[in-house]
Structure 1
Amino acid sequence: MDVLYINSSTLFITHRPINNTGAEMTVYEQCKKMPAVLIWYLSLQFINMFMGIPANLMVLWLTYKNRADSSTSDIFILHLAVLDVLFCLIPPLELVNIVFLTTSSTWYVLRFFYGIKDSSPLFLSCICLDRYVAVVHPIIFTELKDRQHRAVLAMLVWLITLAYATAKCVGTIVNFEKVFTVMILTAFTFMVYCNITILWVLRQSGPSRDEMHPVKKRAFKIVLIILAIIVFNYFPPVALFPFQDYFSHDVFHCYIHYIAFGLMDFSSSIQPMLYLSKEKLLLSLRCCKTSTTHNQ
């Protein structure tokens, strides 16, 4: 068996459980005594594919269609949608590799796409940063609104993403899983801080604590939903991966591993659905405003 999969330090690089026996076995055979979570993971990945691809393509179409009236964070939403479309293409290959194949060659392709998905919190962090500056530092936001720094930041994130995915694909860097752990912990902490601060500022912005402007109230609800999604999708790997040594080998590689990545990967569907629901809300508000104007 390829030494790449024998070294336990490559767990997060491969996304593939390690076989301690040295025999050629599929991932499903390695977890045949506890297959429930693996089946759930694969089912979730296919749901992600059938729901995530059309949802993200719709996001791409809407951001292109509304580019003349787009928000400042739409550039990051667009790049995140491209990233998620790429990732949502892999479930058929993933199913074949987990259930049927013992060869290591096709895992190079999967590891590259896993690396791309691992970096998605970087684009989410950019969105959170943009909203944080808009709400907490509106003067600075106004001064920077029409500059090209967002496009430059998006390109920088793609360079980091491709470099990370390539390194993960090669799979020869010792203790490379620590890069993912540090990245997810940092991004998660940053996103939670930004969103909690935004919620606090919006909550305190009314004439009294019990009053809030309707527009700010809608923003408050949207940010609250985003915060809940961030916690739901990204808290499991943040909470579980640093404690790998406290779980038995089989429990971690056949349960914890796929629970954490399954929930994190499902963000590829949840994020575009949230964006589309927000666009539907804005369209409804515009229609109501137009109707009121005509009635007057």
Structure 2
Amino acid sequence: MNNSTMNFTTTEASNLTTHSIGLMDYLEISVYSINLLFGFPTHCYIIWLIITGTGSGVASEFFILNLSVCELGICLNSVVFVLSIWFPTFSSFYLFLIGLSFTGRPVFQCLMCVERYLAVVHPVTFLKYKPLRYRVICCAAVWVINLVSCLCSLFNLSSPNRYIHRWLSTMLMILIVSIQLFCVVAVLRALKQTGPGERKREKKEENHMKRRAFNIILITTVSMVILYVPKIITGFSEIHAQSDNSPARWFTSLTLFIIAGFVQPVLFLHRTGKFSCLCSS
């Protein structure tokens, strides 16, 4: 949350009546515009691919399907943010949709990471809970959490309790990062192990698959660090200072948050063979 957004609900709201926009507002509008122009059509395309049966099917891609729907909400929030600068009545809707950024994307990505962990480290458990109904239950629980987070964002970020909300959101990000790091380390350790009695050709093919999986996990880990670490640092600095952070620091974390959000869509399009087609066209 940047200073200009918090001014919607504080005594500085009078600045909105004169439509005064600073440099940081223009920069944030640019970042949000990039997220809308590139993110919205990309996630719509991913949803269409999954529904029409491209890839591994709806059951196997159910988590990324819900993640893309959540990302559409974040893209919608980009539009609401721009509108709220000139029309303060949209500020409440903007604060409501911020909950998707705090919980939606992180939790869905965490579910995808746990799914990969079970598939590699505990394949028997993964096959047991592979049916679609278990994924539906998990996603339904996440959407309930998202709704609660959106309501908390609406009521807390527009009041002095916003520091309590930032403390809770920072703790949530630390928890999610810890779970994902545990899963990543366990998967990487499992990929390094070689089964006994393997043929040379099978071993070569398996090493190629392991190398590819290692590269995907490495990219995901780097994007996870870029996505969460700046927001965690910014959240702790605000909690420690008990005041709004500098606009430049929030803009940096926002930019990294937007950029890192394109990693999962690109990986999905590359895995389904659509990314190379788009690049060639």
Equivalent in 251, 256, 269 of residue 276 of structure 1: 269
Corresponding residue for residue 121 of structure 2:
136
Q: Structure 1: how far apart are the matches of 2:250 and 2:55?
A: 43
Q: Structure 2: how far apart are the matches of 1:283 and 1:118?
A: 32
- For structure 1, the 5+ residue unaligned runs are 1-10, 285-296
Overall identity of the aligned pairs, in % = 23
Equivalent in 14, 36, 44 of residue 24 of structure 1: 14
Corresponding residue for residue 257 of structure 2:
264
Q: Structure 2: how far apart are the matches of 1:27 and 1:276?
A: 44
**Compared CA separation, residues 242 and 73, structure 1 to 2 (3 A):** farther
Corresponding residue for residue 51 of structure 1:
38
Contact 1:52/1:88 (8 A) holds in 2: yes
RMSD: 3.5
Q: Report matched runs for 1:164-175 at 5 Å.
A: 164-171=149-156, 172=159, 174=161, 175=164
**Compared CA separation, residues 163 and 226, structure 1 to 2 (3 A):** same
Q: In the TM superposition, what whole-angstrom CA distance separates every residue of 1:39-83 from its partner, at most 9, and x where no partner exists?
A: 333212111101101110111111112278338651110001001
Q: Report matched runs for 1:135-284 at 5 Å.
A: 135-146=120-131, 148-171=133-156, 172=159, 174=161, 175-205=164-194, 213-244=207-238, 252-280=245-273
Corresponding residue for residue 108 of structure 2:
123
SS in 2 for 1:176: helix
Higher RCO, Cα 8 Å, sep 6+: 1
Q: Structure 1: how far apart are the matches of 2:212 and 2:58?
A: 16
Contact 2:226/2:260 (8 A) holds in 1: no
SS in 2 for 1:155: helix
Contact 1:49/1:88 (8 A) holds in 2: yes
Q: Structure 1: how far apart are the matches of 2:193 and 2:234?
A: 34
Q: Structure 2: how far apart are the matches of 1:135 and 1:28?
A: 57
Question: TM-score normalised to the size of structure 2?
Answer: 0.80
Deviation at 1:155, TM superposition (A): 0.4
Deviation at 1:249, TM superposition (A): 6.0
**Compared CA separation, residues 68 and 199, structure 1 to 2 (3 A):** closer
Question: TM-score normalised to the size of structure 1?
Answer: 0.76
Corresponding residue for residue 111 of structure 1:
95
Contact 1:44/1:266 (8 A) holds in 2: no
Aligned residues: 265
Contact 1:38/1:258 (8 A) holds in 2: no
Contact 1:52/1:269 (8 A) holds in 2: yes
Corresponding residue for residue 95 of structure 1:
82
Corresponding residue for residue 288 of structure 1:
none
